[in-house]
């Protein structure tokens, strides 16, 4: 809609900038309407916009697309004059404002009959566009150091094989098989075994149709040979064996060749875990809290939630007032354990708890540095008023050096509640003797790969791109996630984020820029992608007036459109500062 007009009868008294044009003949007689004429054949002005907006520092060609004609003189476009209230710099119809605000523009044309027509528009001048500066471009490809964790490839006889560590796993490329299985083998020395003890070797590979053999040596003497067969229930190869006498200098060998495997071209190894079997079924206690103090425990609150943490009578007590939004993550009780967990191994958490009122909870097993961004296990439920036990046995979806066990308690059945923890126990369901996780360790990479639920996959890089090979999608967005964490954005600026992405097949990604340490996203969008690389751009809608630390997430789980296997190629991840 047009803005309220200033009375154009004041034009003669105003500061007017007029394009220098000649009239066909005679003097000018003006009227004052959007398209006003006197009697006779007055000109017609076409193409004038109702309103125009530009940014300070830009120019606008007010004559572009504007024409004037009449029945007497024909084309009068060259005789159109432009004036403005307030005055504006006019260079043959190209207007350049020097201040923000509204400029009321008049178009005027007079024909040879001294008949004049006027048309009007409003030019709104907004704040100058911010200067755009590349703040950070993420270097996705870095030099990697690969750790074989003591396992060495040994070939003898007719066996010919090499190791390829370029694909984020340990790959044994078999060029020539031998009829003798031991001619191609993986060997690890310097192990120790206890007497009268059962052991399990778990061998995680891409192979399902072939089986292998595990050999145990005391020094150079072979003491045991057992099958390493594929277990379809667990999706891994397993070997179970008993060591009768203690061995202080043991060697294990995994035989890969033999006539039965002669069509096997390569073996991709992801993980080898050697475990001491827990015959009791009760697990090995890693932590057992008696709650004589609260030093090991902490709390966090957000969005107006509050809590007081105390210890009395052998119980850890949390007196809570909930946030109005009643979200679980607004009030958290947590324990930094200092414990390391291994991928695909079983663990158990037991918490005896008393609650005055019904209480919803989320039990999260997470990385101490990255909180919910890297999660190895998750359980939720509702406690009824009284005494309950939370017991959670889980297979760790990712290895974590220092796990962070968190109870998210921000969703209550009333405005307040008091809960008491009377027992906290963390157990490993097996004793780990040796673990080899063949994930390439990249130096100073800015990204972190995270899986939860059924999500699984691996990352490789090229000179310019990050390649995410997804083998399984989880049923929640963050079950398949690439994170860039701990980015500090300086104050008094706006920020724009750009990235290029494509998939081997079309799908969806959730792109999030979140304030670190809480769920408070500055950007949270779901974007479709195709098998053609496209650059996407998203801007934080408001200026940041204080220094802000953020994390960036690319999340692929939970979308029905995403079907595994899928390969994602991510490149040109950039942050732009707008000042």
Q: Are 553 and 565 within 8 A, CB to CB? A: no
Which residue spans within 60-196 are E strands per DSSP? 60-61, 67-70, 74-75, 81-85, 89-91, 94-96, 101-110, 116-126, 132-137, 144-145, 152-155, 160-164, 170-176, 184-193
Kindly report, residue by residue over 523-564, the tens digit of the pLDDT: 999 999 999 999 999 999 888 999 999 999 999 999 999 999
Tell me, what's the pLDDT at 134? 94
Residue in 502, 493, 567, 535 with CA at minimum distance from that of residue 137: 535
Same structural domain, 504 and 407: no
Q: How far apart are CA 452 and CA 375, in angstroms?
A: 6
Kindly report, residue by residue over 41-90, the tens digit of the pLDDT: 899 999 999 999 999 989 999 999 999 999 989 999 999 999 999 999 99
Residue in 246, 511, 477 with CA at minimum distance from that of residue 375: 477
Same structural domain, 377 and 393: yes
| Full DSSP string of 356-367 | SS-EEEEEEEEE
Q: Is the pLDDT assigned to residue 454 strictly greater than 90?
A: no
Please list the helix, strand and coil fractions of the chain in percent, rounded to the nearest 5, in that order. 5, 55, 40
State the DSSP code for 495: E
Domain membership of residue 141 (yes or no) is no
Higher pLDDT, 14 or 455: 455
The CATH number linked to 561 is 2.60.120.260
pLDDT band for 15, please (50, 70, 90 cuts). very low
Q: Is the pLDDT assigned to residue 210 strictly greater than 80?
A: yes
Same structural domain, 241 and 375: no
Same structural domain, 166 and 263: yes
Domain membership of residue 457 (yes or no) is yes
End-of-domain residue from the set 276, 293, 320: 276
Tell me, what's the pLDDT at 227? 94
Q: Are 437 and 399 within 8 A, CB to CB? A: yes
Tell me, what's the pLDDT at 250? 96
Same structural domain, 113 and 37: yes
Largest Cα separation within the chain, whole Å, is 121
Higher pLDDT, 296 or 181: 181
Q: How far apart are CA 221 and CA 344, in angstroms?
A: 32
Kindly report, residue by residue over 290-345, the tens digit of the pLDDT: 776 677 888 989 889 999 999 888 889 999 999 888 888 889 999 888 888 887 78
Domain membership of residue 308 (yes or no) is yes
Higher pLDDT, 364 or 30: 364
Same structural domain, 417 and 296: yes
Q: What's the average model confidence in pLDDT over 200-211?
A: 87
Tell me, what's the pLDDT at 268? 86
Q: Give me 189's structure tokens.
A: 């020395």
Work out the mean pLDDT of the chain and round it to a whole number: 86
Kindly report, residue by residue over 227-248, the tens digit of the pLDDT: 999 888 767 889 999 999 999 9
Q: How far apart are CA 96 and CA 395, in angstroms?
A: 66
Q: How far apart are CA 121 and CA 133, in angstroms?
A: 35
Tell me, what's the pLDDT at 144? 62
Same structural domain, 426 and 360: yes
Q: What's the average model confidence in pLDDT over 94-98?
A: 95
Q: Is the pLDDT assigned to residue 455 strictly greater than 60?
A: yes
Same structural domain, 426 and 288: yes
**Helix/strand/coil (H/E/C) assignment for every residue in 407-472:** EECCCECCCEEEEEEEEEEEEECCEEEEEEECCCEECCCCEEEEECCCCEEEEEECCCEEEEEEEE
Q: Are 286 and 427 within 8 A, CB to CB? A: yes
Same structural domain, 289 and 271: no
Share above pLDDT 70 across residues of the chain, in percent, rounded to a whole number: 88
pLDDT band for 429, please (50, 70, 90 cuts). confident
State the DSSP code for 544: B
Higher pLDDT, 424 or 236: 424
Q: Are 424 and 289 within 8 A, CB to CB? A: yes
What is the count of structural domains for the chain?
4
pTM: 0.54
Give the domain extent around 391.
284-431
Q: Among 205-214, 252-261, 290-299, which range has the highest average pLDDT?
A: 252-261
Domain membership of residue 1 (yes or no) is no
Q: Give me 292's structure tokens.
A: 């004589």
Same structural domain, 216 and 318: no
Domain membership of residue 2 (yes or no) is no
Domain membership of residue 240 (yes or no) is yes
Q: What's the average model confidence in pLDDT over 358-365?
A: 93
Share above pLDDT 90 across residues of the chain, in percent, rounded to a whole number: 56
Q: Which of 73-82, 155-164, 445-454 has the lowest mean pLDDT?
A: 445-454
The CATH number linked to 68 is 2.60.40.10
Domain membership of residue 111 (yes or no) is yes
Same structural domain, 527 and 487: yes
End-of-domain residue from the set 228, 256, 276: 276
Kindly report, residue by residue over 257-291, the tens digit of the pLDDT: 999 999 999 998 888 989 887 766 677 888 888 77
Domain membership of residue 134 (yes or no) is no
End-of-domain residue from the set 249, 276, 303: 276
Kindly report, residue by residue over 189-203, the tens digit of the pLDDT: 999 999 999 899 988
Same structural domain, 245 and 384: no
């Amino acid at each position: 809609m047009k803005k309220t007009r200033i009375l154009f009868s004041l034009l003669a008294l105003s500061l007017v900038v007029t394009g220098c044009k000649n009239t066909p003949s005679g003097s000018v007689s003006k009227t004052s309407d959007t398209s006003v004429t006197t009697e006779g054949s007055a000109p017609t002005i076409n193409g004038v916009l109702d309103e125009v907006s530009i940014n300070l520092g830009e120019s606008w060609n007010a004559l572009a697309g504007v024409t004037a004609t009449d029945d007497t003189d024909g084309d009068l476009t060259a005789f159109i004059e432009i004036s403005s209230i307030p005055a504006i710099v006019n260079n043959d119809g190209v207007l350049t404002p020097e201040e923000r605000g509204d400029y009321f523009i008049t178009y005027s044309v007079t024909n040879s009959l001294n008949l004049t027509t006027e048309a009007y528009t409003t030019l709104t001048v907004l704040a100058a566009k911010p200067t755009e500066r590349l703040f950070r471009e993420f270097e996705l490809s870095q030099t990697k150091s690969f750790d074989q964790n003591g396992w060495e490839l040994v070939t003898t006889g007719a066996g010919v094989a090499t190791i390829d560590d370029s694909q984020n796993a340990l790959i044994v490329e078999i060029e020539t098989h031998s009829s003798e299985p031991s001619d191609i083998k993986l060997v690890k020395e310097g192990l120790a075994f206890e007497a009268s003890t059962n052991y399990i070797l778990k061998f995680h590979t891409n192979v399902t149709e072939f089986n292998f053999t595990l050999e145990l040596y005391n020094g150079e003497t072979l003491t045991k040979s057992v099958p390493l067969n594929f277990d379809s229930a667990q999706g891994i190869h397993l070997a179970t064996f008993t060591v009768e006498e203690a061995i202080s200098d043991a060697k294990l060998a995994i035989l890969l060749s033999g006539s039965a495997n002669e069509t096997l071209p390569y073996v991709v190894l992801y993980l080898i875990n050697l475990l001491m079997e827990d015959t009791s079924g009760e697990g090995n206690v890693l932590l057992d809290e008696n709650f004589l103090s609260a030093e090991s425990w902490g709390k966090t609150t957000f969005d107006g939630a509050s809590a007081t943490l105390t210890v009395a009578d052998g119980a850890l007590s949390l007196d809570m007032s909930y946030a109005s939004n009643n979200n679980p993550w607004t009030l958290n009780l947590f324990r930094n354990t200092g414990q390391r967990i291994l991928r695909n191994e079983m663990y158990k958490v037991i918490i005896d708890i008393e609650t005055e009122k019904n209480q919803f909870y989320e039990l999260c097993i997470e990385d101490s540095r990255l909180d919910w961004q890297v999660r190895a296990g998750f359980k939720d439920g509702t406690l009824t008023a009284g005494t309950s036990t939370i017991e959670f046995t889980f297979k760790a979806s990712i290895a974590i050096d220092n796990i962070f066990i968190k109870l998210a308690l921000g969703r209550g059945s009333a405005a307040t509640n008091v809960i008491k923890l009377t027992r906290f126990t963390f157990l490993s369901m097996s004793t780990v003797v040796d673990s080899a996780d063949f994930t390439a360790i990249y130096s100073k990479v800015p990204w972190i790969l995270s899986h939860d639920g059924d999500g699984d996959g691996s990352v490789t890089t090229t000179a310019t791109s990050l390649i995410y090979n997804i083998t399984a999608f989880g049923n929640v967005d963050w079950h398949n996630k690439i994170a860039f964490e701990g980015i500090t954005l300086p104050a008094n600026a706006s920020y724009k984020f750009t990235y290029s992405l494509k998939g081997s097949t079309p799908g969806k990604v959730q792109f999030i820029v979140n304030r670190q340490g809480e769920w408070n996203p500055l950007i949270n969008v779901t974007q479709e992608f195709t098998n053609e690389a496209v650059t996407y751009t998203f801007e934080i809608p408001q200026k940041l007036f204080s220094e802000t630390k953020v994390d960036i997430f690319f999340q692929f789980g939970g979308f029905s459109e995403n079907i595994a296997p899928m390969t994602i190629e991510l490149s040109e991840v950039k942050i732009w500062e707008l000042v």
